[in-house]
């Protein structure tokens, strides 16, 4: 997968070189180019924003700067800083690498009616966007080329986004109901959620099948050794060796936690008879 990020703060994207994403870069499964938007500014002051038509607070990012930037990135002719993995070159194989489970890509790309599936995906982070969620991460993990356009101030002139639809499949997305200063941190969030789902990056698909949200439920608690710590015991069932009981316990814990923390999620979950019986014990009548 190729990621390109256009931003006025290129150094903000440095975390993409580390940990799992650094490993994906090291493995050749990912490359990341970061582009300084000011490289497309045309005046001596390298200005990228201006006051909004119609008045109001803040500044709006200029179309004459963003337009050519996104044209050049789509054409592959933009000057870029290539992010290099922060990891040592002879990174030891991890548990997932050696497990040997086949890398299965996720079905189902995010291609809308009338869109050319061969166009790159342009993600525009904005608090006014459609909420980003795990199904988006899953679909976008199948993309070959994703470009992120980081706005600051009050956003980017809307015509930039409208015009970009000639060269991209465009998605304006929000990462939650709060306001950030700019899109850079949202890009870090989205890139991490997407890249970990690229086949082979986390080792195997099974690693994701137990994630929170993969079955629509929150994941329950986890435990490791020692069996007793500061007077607190690991739930006995987990040390029983009875796999059927352990699986049922995990499912019940996920149901309980989801009911307590995100009850609205239960609406979208396929519940069987045992699930319903357990939820009823907890006082939930769905």
Nearer to ligand 6GU, 155 or 203 (CB): 155
Instruction: Write a three-state SS string for 9-49.
Output: CHHHHHHHHCHHHHHHHHCCCCEEEEEEHHHHCCCCCCCCE
Contact segment (CB under 6 A) with ligand 6GU among 63-71, 112-120, 182-190, 239-247 equals: 182-190
Choose, from 71, 96, 154, 192, the residue flagged as catalytic: 154
CA–CA gap between residue 61 and residue 151 (Å, rounded): 7
Q: Is 220 in the site for ligand 6GU (CB under 6 A)?
A: no
- Whether 192 is catalytic: no
- For helices 273-281 and 243-261, angle between their N-to-C axes, nearest 10 degrees: 60
The annotation status of 168 as a binding-site residue, yes or no, is: no
Q: Helices (DSSP H) in the chain: which residue ranges?
A: 19-26, 63-75, 95-99, 134-140, 158-164, 184-195, 206-209, 243-261, 273-281
Q: Identify the active-site residue in 10, 196, 252, 275.
A: 196
* Using rule CB under 6 A, residue 59 touches ligand 6GU: no
146 binding ligand 6GU? (CB under 6 A): no
The string over 114-133, giving b where at least 16 C-beta atoms fall within 10 Å of a residue's C-beta and e elsewhere, is eeeeebbbbbbbbeebeebe
Q: Does 174 bind ligand 6GU (CB under 6 A)?
A: yes
102 belongs to the catalytic site: no
User: Looking at 10-18, 31-39, 168-176, 221-229, which segment touches ligand 6GU (CB under 6 A)?
Assistant: 168-176
Q: How far is the CB of 162 from ligand 6GU (least distance, A)?
A: 18
Near ligand 6GU by CB under 6 A, which window of 5-13, 69-77, 84-92, 125-133? 125-133
Q: Is the dihedral of CA 41, 46, 52, 53 positive or negative?
A: negative
Is 2 tagged catalytic?
A: no
Q: Is 179 annotated as a binding residue?
A: yes
Residues forming the annotated binding site?
Answer: 151, 175-180
Residues marked as catalytic: 127, 154, 196, 211
């Amino acid at each position: 997968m190729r990621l390109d990020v256009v931003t006025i703060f290129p150094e903000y994207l440095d975390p993409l070189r580390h940990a799992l994403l650094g490993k994906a870069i090291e493995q050749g499964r990912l490359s990341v180019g970061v582009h300084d938007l000011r490289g497309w500014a045309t005046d001596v002051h390298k200005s990228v924003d201006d006051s909004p038509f119609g008045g109001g607070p803040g500044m709006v990012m200029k179309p004459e700067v963003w337009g050519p930037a996104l044209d050049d990135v789509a054409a592959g002719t933009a000057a870029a800083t290539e992010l290099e993995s922060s990891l040592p070159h002879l990174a030891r194989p991890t548990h997932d690498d050696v497990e040997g489970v086949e890398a299965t890509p996720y079905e189902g790309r995010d291609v809308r009616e009338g869109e050319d599936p061969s166009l790159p995906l342009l993600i525009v982070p904005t608090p006014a966007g459609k909420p980003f969620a795990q199904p988006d991460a899953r679909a976008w993990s199948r993309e070959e080329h994703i470009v992120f356009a980081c706005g600051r101030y009050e956003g980017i002139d809307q015509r930039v986004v409208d015009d970009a639809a000639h060269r991209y499949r465009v998605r304006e997305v929000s990462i939650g109901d709060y306001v950030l200063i700019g899109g850079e941190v949202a890009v870090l969030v989205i890139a991490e959620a997407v890249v970990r789902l690229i086949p082979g990056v986390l080792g195997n698909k099974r690693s994701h099948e137990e994630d929170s949200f993969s079955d629509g439920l929150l994941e329950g608690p986890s435990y490791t050794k020692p069996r007793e710590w500061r007077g607190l015991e690991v739930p006995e069932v987990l040390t029983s060796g009875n796999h059927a009981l352990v699986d049922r316990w995990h499912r019940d814990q996920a149901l309980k936690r989801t009911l307590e923390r995100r009850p609205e999620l239960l609406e979208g979950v396929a519940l069987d008879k045992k699930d319903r019986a357990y939820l009823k014990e907890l006082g939930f009548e769905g």
